[in-house]
Amino acid sequence: MTLPDCAAVGRIRRPHGVRGELLLEALTDEPGAIFAPGRRVFQGTPDGALWLDPRTRQPRTLEVKALRPVKDGFLLTLVEIADRTEAEKWNGRCLLVPVEELSEPDDGEVFAHELVGMQLVDADSAAEIGEVVEFYELPQGLLLDFRTPQGRVASLPFVDEFVEDVDREARTIRVRLPDGLLET
């Protein structure tokens, strides 16, 4: 079986209630379509890698039963998760779909899963600032964690004020860091 290229479209934050519902952080602009009842999603990692069952070497496929918006994101019900005990095992896990099922990002935009591993470069000097190691979806927008060449980890909001340009092909993000961000 050829495995599809996938993108992370959601991250499980925690269980909700006793019937197996999951609090979902959507990593897509189209959560209603991606998580429509009957749709299938895969278990994987934030960078889009599929999780493979150690016994079968096949990806774990899950069927969406229901999705509803709540204050902190969405409550997701999956056919395969029937109770809180099973739901608790899903904290922090990512859900993926094949990239070909997603709308292509506009110019200057990027799939969230593509951010991990991208290089941050200074918008003026093109000097390397660091590599994106993680991202978080917050109410204010995406927050990038990046590692500098010296090994320090820092955070940068993924907003127009700091992000000049994203080049998906070159895998670079041109940024203007806030004053003092990397000073110790």
Q: Which helix (H) or strand (E) holds 43?
A: strand 40-44
What integer pLDDT is reported at residue 3 of this predicted model? 75
Please say if the pLDDT value at position 123 is more than 90.
yes
Beta strand spans in 18-60 (E): 21-26, 40-44
What pLDDT, on the 0 to 100 scale, is given for residue 29?
A: 82
Domain 6-100 has CATH 3.40.50.1100: no
Q: To which residue do tokens 């608790």 refer? A: 88
- What's the confidence (pLDDT) of residue 136? 82
Pairing mode, strands 40-44 and 61-70: antiparallel
Q: What is the CATH number of domain 112-175?
A: 2.30.30.240
Q: What is the pLDDT of residue 1?
A: 59
For the chain, give every domain's residue range.
6-100, 112-175
**pLDDT, tens digit, 9 for 90 and up, residues 39-84:** 999 999 877 889 998 999 999 999 999 999 998 889 999 999 999 9
Query: Position of tokens 């093109």?
Result: 126
pLDDT of residue 68: 96
Q: Is the pTM of this model over 0.85?
A: no
Task: Say if residue 184's pLDDT is above 80.
Answer: no
